Amino acid sequence: MIVLGVIILRGAVIAVNVRAVMHSSYAWVPILAMLLGVLVTAYGAVSHSTSPAPALTPTPPEDVITSPV
């Protein structure tokens, strides 16, 4: 989700550069895309930080090899 937000933000930056060259009447589109990219990135960061860790099978303590000092 974070990657998707970054991709949208990069596209918005490109759109801002194109808009600066074209002077089109769609000036709100890159701004909207930038806001969408920020929202998607923030949502991805929040959902990533609050999501439970992937269920990995923990190694039992008896399987851990301890080397003598």
Task: Give pLDDT, residue 36.
Answer: 82
Q: What percent of the chain has pLDDT over 70?
A: 48
pLDDT (tens digit, 9 = 90+) per residue, 44-55? 777 766 656 555
- Give dist(CA 42, CA 39) in Å, integer: 5
- Give dist(CA 18, CA 34) in Å, integer: 14
Burial of 56 (0-12, 13-18, 19+ CB in 10 A): exposed
Q: How confident is the model at residue 28 (pLDDT cuts 50, 70, 90)?
A: confident
